[in-house]
Structure 1
Amino acid sequence: MKQLIFVLSFAFLSFANAQHAMTEEVSFDELVKRYSKNVYNNASKALEYATQAKNIAVVNGDAKQLTQVDYYIANCEFTLEKNKAALTHIEAAITQATPLKDVLFLYKCMSLKGNILLELGEDSKALKTYVKAQEYAKKIGKPIYEILPLCSIALIKKTHKDYEEAILMYKDILKRLNTLNETPDVRYYRLLVLMHIADTYLRLKNTAEATLYNNIGLEKSTDEQDAWAHYPLLMNKAIIRYQKGEYKLSIPLVKLVEAYAEGKNENLYITSLFYLGKNAYQLQLYKESIQHFEKTYAIMKASDDADMNEKELHEFLALAYHQTKNAEKALFHFQQYTALEKKQSAEDLKLNNETHIMVDVVPLETEIDALGKQLTQETRSKKGFLMAAVGLLILLISSIVYYRARGKRIRKKFEALLPKVSELEKDQVQKTGTQKEIVSDEKVQAILNKLTKFEKNEAYLSKECSLGFMAEELETNTAYLSKVINTYKGKSFTAYITELRINTALVKLKNNKTLQSYTIMAIADEFGFKRQETFSRAFKAYTGIYPSQYIKNLKEKG
């Protein structure tokens, strides 16, 4: 993550060679030069120089110097992962810089503050800060300055599984970069964006699009000059092979990444270990897979910064130990998996049964019985056996209680949804918002009349129904159409279209048994969604249940 957010953080500093002892008296400017020389390769030393420079600035009573060194200190502390202290200093710098109205400096302060907040897990605050940085970037008037906050915002969307929106943002950034003259910064961002687009498509299991963008990135990078991007792109290529079931072809690529990343890039290293384990598991080399998974788990537990899908790791450990007939460890990792499952935010959960290969980790009664028999053979101690047996019994009861309670909750939400569906059936034209006032503007009224016809014809079910497409169909511009929808429908364009589609899906699924037999992917396509995951997430957000749960209850109700 930090490879993304370091760029442009120090652009206004000059570099010079100066080798003086820390004990001698030096000027403010000389200390700034020493800071500049060390900031990239020795943050601790740079912090010492910045602190000394601040002491001089305090004595001088120079507000501009104080503002400058507070930024330097925050920057060093951020690099050294002292993020709380860094936040204090960058906020001081912003407070002091605001009256000075130095737009470029404020942009850099806001960018750094966003980076710090992101590392502290304050994603919402970071998002607002990056938006502010983007505002300053626009005032600067140089398009390259807008790229950093845009990349950071896209990363936040990606982190919170808003994959479709993240991809749209990254593609927009790519278009912006293609309009700029080629510079080292433009080249850097282009590689970064290609890497993230490919990675985001992989999270959507879209190997075709992932391959397209990943190959472009690999063609534009070298393993020496661009190692920071080249090896993550190689890791993407290995994951593409894995998702295609080409496990033996994936392994050599993963090993190349592992050899590079060890001791250099912890997150990339543990990702390579994890995929060595996943490939081994798919090749039924279960003991080998456990070795890789356990090594990944050990590094993850020992690190504060490891970025790893811990839930998925426990899934694979549970299944791998089950395959090697180690019931005790299989149960341990299953319990860790279920605990993490419950912690996940509802908005981040996805219904993706076709690709979720670990669904078997949720035990059925027969599976628990099998584990119990294995544990009986493996456990020689009577005490150990009794404890394990009690654990199995508790797990069985808990599983039954949990899934029955879950079924009741879903049924209750389904029953509460039916009156809404009945109301929708009564309306010949679905209305997703109400006019806030009597419309006197003829131009607005004309747009609203066209929207009514648009809704009646169900034109929103087209997958090409973007704001631009719709504005063209309604013979207006995107800004005006968006304003009309916000004012008279009471919601954004995206929310307006999504609600129309979900309402239509609710009614048609209820009344069309053939449609109920379709796959979720086919149903998503039927109602204008390009991706199954987007449809499932939107359906859940609007109704409280997933489309598969809605269909299941419709069938049971008859």
Structure 2
Amino acid sequence: MNIADSLYSASEEPYFKAKSLMLSAALLQEAGEVKQAVEYAVKAGEICKNSNDRVQSAEIYGFLATQFRRLKLYSQSTSYIQKTSEKAGQIEDTKVRSRIFGLIAQENANYEIDQKHYKKAILLIEKSQVYFREKNTNQALFLASNERLLGDCFYYLAEYDKALSHYTLASGLLEKFQDNFLKGFIYSGISAVYIKKKEIKKAKTYIGFAQKIADKTQYLDLKKQIYKTSQEYYALEKNFEKFSQLKIKEDALTEVIAEKKNFFINNEQTSLINENEKLQNNNIILILASVCILLILSAMLFFYYKRNHSEKSGNLPREVILSNKILANTKISENSKTLSPQVELKILKKLETFENSIMFTQKNISLSSLSIYCCTNVKYLSIVINSHKQKDFNNYINELRIKYLVNKIRKEPQYLKYKIVSLAEFVGFSTQSKFIEAFKKEMSVTPSAFIKSIKEQQLTDRIHT
């Protein structure tokens, strides 16, 4: 922490200041100092606003999303995930963009694990793995992190052989890395599987590996996890003295972690209550002022309409009055659909940037969220999509998703190995049936038939070669 603070003081450029703050935030998070970790990350985020560094901003928002999710403050976490997605969609470097989207999918998977939706989490992790398989810095670390999560999911689903397979793969990916907290979680997971399989000797070996790492780190969540797994081991071995000692340690650590989290949550709630009180007071004043203005305007309009109506209706036939009303409504309707060329061009440029990103693969993309991205309203955006793309919003998004996936399948062979449900999840479809329907609409064949044709073509090409 002292070194990180010194780096911040010595840094002049915003990028390095934010970087040093995030180093401090990561250290504080490991030590369970949630409040300070969030404060450092928020400060780093404010610095990034001035530097306009999208990559760094996305990483900071992602870190904050994780912290709020761990605190079970899911609305705040979702808000930061949305911010991360927006920044990631604007990153030009495809490899960096893939890494950020991989982390977003991983964070969403962690949320589903929190909710005990393990099968949903597995699909999200598989989607994350596709992003991480793009050659990135520390690729093995990211892939190992996901393999560990897959191990956790299959463990909770009581599919212990699959869990062990993923934990072992994660361990292999980290073989060249020094001991770290991720290795600790993996060893603890392997030990937990062997305990369920009643293979005591193997369980003891991996408990030892995990404990060795836990003794060197201040990562409180890792220590807690290992205390818990060790208790299961000693219960199996019927060593109740050791079991009791570890139970006391786990309870004490749980209390420390809970105290730190509750302190932060209580501060957050107090802050929100104060803000709400201010907003309510301001709203009462605004409402009273609005009511007064509306009453005055209503009175003025009433007298104006009454005078005009009495003058015009006396001189004009009823049919003419009705005709004028219809014409007036038609003009209003036409005007509502008319956009200035400047506004239209601005929206089209934003859509072009959007189409070159992979934001359309996000499940929560909507006409409303896209209109915010395009700096316009829902009505104008809908008009531009209908007139320039010749389709409604849903079909427009589906077309982008299918074209993107088809391009991936044709160029990158690994996509041929994925199940249809995983491909659907990868490009943002909520169900497999909707994905198949959209794919068939765009390509005139089902995804399975398309993949089969690509495989056959590849086989033919190899034979000719």
TM-score (norm 1): 0.43
Q: Secondary structure at the match of 2:288?
A: coil
Contact 2:220 2:257 in 1 (8 A): no
Alignment CA distance shift 1:334-1:84 (3 Å): same
Equivalent of residue 284 in structure 1, options 181, 198, 208: 198
Residue of structure 2 equivalent to 1:493: none
- Cα gap change, 1:118/1:323 in structure 2, threshold over 3 Å: closer, same or farther? closer
Could you tell me which of 180, 188, 194 is aligned with 2:99? 188
Instruction: Give 1:452-471 correspondences, 5 Å limit.
Output: none
Query: Equivalent residues in 2 for 1:142-157 (5 A)?
Result: 143-157=54-68
Q: Match of 1:259, as an amino acid? A: G
Query: Letter of the aligned partner of 1:190 in structure 2?
Result: F
For 1:244, the aligned partner's letter is L
1:342-385 CA-partner distances (Å, limit 9, x unpaired): 33325858xxxxxxxxxxxxxxxxxxxxxxxxxxxxxxxxxxxx
Superposed CA RMSD:
3.6
1:10 alignment partner in structure 2: none
- Could you tell me which of 220, 225, 238 is aligned with 1:325? 238
Matches of residues 367-516 of structure 1 in structure 2 within 5 Å?
Answer: 435=281, 439-442=287-290
Distance 1:323 1:192, change over 3 A: same
1:271 aligns with 2:210: no
Matched residue type, 1:90: Y
Deviation at 1:190, TM superposition (A): 2.0
Distance 2:194 2:100 in 1: 35
Q: Structure 1: how far apart are the matches of 2:118 and 2:197?
A: 20
What residue in structure 1 maps to residue 116 of structure 2?
A: 205
Percent identity over the alignment? 14
More helix per residue: 1 or 2? Answer: 2
Residues 98, 132 of structure 2: 8 Å contact kept: no
Residue 232 of structure 1 deviates from its aligned partner by 1.2
Question: Aligned pair 1:254/2:167, yes or no?
Answer: yes
Q: Are 2:140 and 1:222 aligned?
A: no
8 Å CA contact 1:290, 1:321 repeated in 2: no
- Offset at 1:115? 2.0
Q: Give the AA of the match of 1:441.
A: A
Q: Tell me, which stretches of 5 or more residues in structure 1 are unaligned?
A: 1-82, 98-104, 350-430, 447-467, 470-476, 478-558
Q: Deviations over 1:75-132 (max 9, x none)?
A: xxxxxxxx30331342244xxx4xxxxxxx2243133223224424565344344334
Shift of 1:314: 2.0
Task: State the TM-score, normalized to the length of structure 2.
Answer: 0.51
Which residue does 2:406 correspond to in 1?
Answer: none
In 1, the alpha carbon distance for the partners of 2:293 and 2:111 equals: 41
Classify 1:299/1:136 alpha carbon distance in 2 versus 1 (closer, same or farther; 3 Å): closer
Tell me how far apart the structure 1 counterparts of residues 93 and 202 of structure 2 sit (CA, whole Å). 46
> For structure 1, which segment, 201-210 or 236-245, has the greater mean C-alpha deviation from structure 2 after superposition?
201-210
Contact kept? 2:188, 2:229, Cα under 8 Å: no
Aligned to 1:345: 258
Q: Equivalent residue of 1:309, what SS?
A: helix
Alpha-carbon distance change, 218 to 434 in structure 1, aligned in 2, over 3 angstroms: closer
Measure, in 2, the Cα distance between the counterparts of 1:245 and 1:434. 50
Query: Which residue in the other structure is 1:87 paired with?
Result: 5
2:199 aligned partner, one-letter code:
L
Query: 2:124 & 2:27 partners in 1: Cα distance?
Result: 28
Supply the distance in 1 between the matched residues of 2:40 and 2:292 (Cα, whole angstroms): 35
Q: CA deviation at 1:257?
A: 1.2
Cα distance, 1:275 vs. partner?
Answer: 0.7
- What's the CA shift string for 1:47-68, capped at 9, x where partnerless? xxxxxxxxxxxxxxxxxxxxxx
1:306 CA displacement: 4.9
Q: 1:90 to 1:239 in 2, by over 3 A?
A: same
How do 1:16-31 residues align onto structure 2 when only pairs under 5 Å count?
A: none
Number of residue equivalences = 276
Instruction: Kindly provide the amino acid, as one letter, of the partner of residue 86 in structure 1.
Output: A
Distance 1:307 1:258 in 2: 21
Q: Counterpart amino acid of 2:290?
A: E
Cα deviation for residue 246 of structure 1 reads 0.6
1:316 aligns with 2:225: no
CA 1:261–1:292: 2 relative to 1, 3 Å: same
Q: Which residue of 2 aligns with 1:108?
A: 16
Matched, 1:135 2:43: no
In 2, the alpha carbon distance for the partners of 1:190 and 1:168 equals 16
C-alpha deviation, 1:304, in angstroms: 2.8
Give the Cα–Cα distance (whole angstroms) in 2 for the partners of residues 291 and 305 of structure 1. Answer: 22
Note the C-alpha offset of 1:141.
4.2
Residue 133 of structure 2 aligns to a residue in which SS? Answer: coil
1:174/1:223 CA distance change after superposition, 3 Å: closer
Taking structure 1 as reference, are residues 124 and 283 closer, same or farther at Cα in structure 2, changes over 3 Å only?
same
CA–CA separation in structure 2 for the residues paired with 1:290 and 1:318: 11
Query: Structure 1 282/312 Cα, relative in aligned 2: closer, same or farther at 3 Å?
Result: same
Cα offset, 1:318, TM superposition:
2.1
**Paired residues of 2:234 and 2:243 also in contact (CA < 8 A):** yes
